[in-house]
Each structure stands twice: as structure tokens, then as C-alpha cells.
Chain A
């Protein structure tokens, strides 16, 4: 899932200055699970923003809250429909994709981010989320026994480990596992250590963040005559 955390209230307050009617929109998908922008957090940020604006002498600003199931998909944004017309700004508590989806859908309404989108990751333990995927577009997890060196090795080394792996930890921080130690341990438990002796070819970065924003197109799923958006 996409992991995010909230911006500080003063930053949000400064962003929305000049607006008199603000709709805080939460998202019921990834950011609900990572406790950053779900219904509960939408209430918290809405309440905090109202208080902050009042203390800044802007008592007359209206701040309302609502949460939709998924901000990154047009069909789910439908429920906001005409309601948005009553506001002059939206504070989105979705990830970066959600913020942009709302901005595309409502060209005449200012849209601001209430969260800092961090990464694609998993819940490591209660309250701790860890980055696992860089979305490079050319997955080689099969070659590395299910541990991604691009995301989890600080040097993104495809042929590791480097000389700074100590007791299973990375030189960057004692809290950071050495991805190559994890890869080796996993290879060992699968009895495939020999596979690590071959040299891995360089990554083809053309599938990553290269040449502008990427698109995945499934022609068979596109509605006839509409095709992918230009």
C-alpha cells in the first residue's frame, strides 16, 4: 500500500490561507490503513485546522470534512460531485495520486495536500511502516529471492553486499537491515546460494521514472473509441 503521514497543522493553515470554505477530503483506501488520511484522521485534521484558523483570527472560515472510498479513481470521486461547488478549496488527505485526481476532476477548485506521501510499503509492526517497493517497472524480485535490493539496499546495489555490511546491518543506520544480508540468508534457507555467484546485469532504468510519467495501457480493456487518454 501507499504510506503517508500528515503535514503539520501550521503548514496546512498557511497553504489554505485566502480561502473561506474548505472541504477536507479523506480517502478510505491506503491512507486509512496507514492511519494518515482516513475518516478518523480527517476529523482530527479538520478540527485542528478550524481551531488553528480561529486562533489566527480567521474564525469565519468554514471547514467541513468528508471521506470517500478512493480518491485515485474517478468513479469514487463522483460522490463529491456538486458538493465541491460549495467550497473554494479542497484539502486532500489522499496520497499524491489522490490529490492530483481531485485536481484533475475539479479544475475550478484549489486542491492542497494534507499529507506527505512517503512510499509503497507494508505494516512492519503496529505503528511502523517500512518501504518495500520503488515501482521501478522492471521487477527482479525473483532473482533476489523476494528481497528488493533497489528499494532496501541503501546503495541500490544489484551485486552486493558492499564492504559496509556489519552484523547484518547497514552503515547508514544500526536500525537499517543490510538488504544483502537478508538476500543471502534467504538464498541459504532456499538452498540457492550458488545463484548469487553469477553477476547480475545492470537494471534497465528506462522502465522507471524516465521520460516522464508512465502509463500502463491495456488495449483489451479500453472502451472502444475512447482509447487511453492522450
Chain B
């Protein structure tokens, strides 16, 4: 079992995913323990998806959407913000630190901000340690791969 925390980034195709791409192109350094999932919009992210990430043993989840007012689908990011709040409440009820989950807003031009966000989440997760729900590294990685597949299906409109 790895002791390295793993952070899952639920990224909007129109902003955070492009920003992550830009961070790469700019050769910016940020922790390698982040796994990026691409969604057509943060509004496509259901509470179920976020809970599933924690259930699979992910240590931290960040949802990264467009700047408020700048959503490609007008209000998807505002919906995501409310869903994140609700999932935080459920995590609290379960007994998992709600701060393991956070929503961020950035534009597609903010590669450096993406790198910062990943560092920020790492700093936040470090004192909390590895999730008590983690089974094994294999289980976690398989779970993430499965979620990535689902997210890609969502992009293609095949996952309803």
C-alpha cells in the first residue's frame, strides 16, 4: 500500500483541463500525485461521482471549473459549487474530513494557477494523511481508470 496521497482533479474541458495542458506546455512543476479527469462541464459532475472517488480510496478531490459567470454552459459551474457543498456535508456525516474536497475556478489561460491549485490541495491533504477508505494501490488505480473511462463517455454524450 502506498502512503503517497492521491488527488483526483475533476476538470472542465473548457477551462481547467486546458489550463492543466498549458501548465504542461509551460513545463511548470507541480506534484505528480494528481490524476486529471476531463468532463464536458463541471455541471456534468454528479454527487455520485465525487462520493465514488472517495469510496475508491482517493485522498483528495478537487473540482475545477470555469470562472463564475464564464461557464461555457452558463451555470454548470454554479451547480457544481452547490453539489460540492452538499457532498462536503455528506462526507462530514460519514466521518471523512470535508476539506478533502474543494471546488476551484480558473480560466483556460491560467496554467500557473492550475499548478498552484494542485500544490494547495497537496498542502491541505498532507496533514490529513492517506484516506482511511484506501484498500490498496491497485484497487485505487483501477477505480480511477474506471472513472476516467466514465468521464470520457460523458464527453462523448454516451453516459447518461
Contact = CB atoms under 8 A, between A and B. Distances in A.
Contact of A44 (B90, B96, B132): B90
Interface in B42-61: 46-48, 51-52, 54-55
Tell me what chain B mostly uses at the interface: helix, strand, loop, or mixed. helix
Q: Please tell me the size bucket of the interface on B.
A: 10 to 19
Contacts, number: 38
Interface residues of A, number: 13
B140 to A, nearest CB: 14
23 contacts: A9-B90, A9-B93, A9-B94, A10-B93, A40-B46, A43-B48, A44-B47, A44-B48, A44-B51, A47-B48, A47-B51, A48-B51, A48-B93, A51-B51, A51-B54, A51-B55, A51-B94, A51-B96, A52-B94, A52-B95, A55-B95, A55-B96, A55-B132
B93 A8 contact: yes
A44 B89 CA distance: 12
Contacts of A155: none
A43 B55 CA distance: 12
B145 interface: no
Contacts of A43: 48
Contact of A40 (B48, B52, B94): B48
A54 B135 CA distance: 11
B126 interface: no
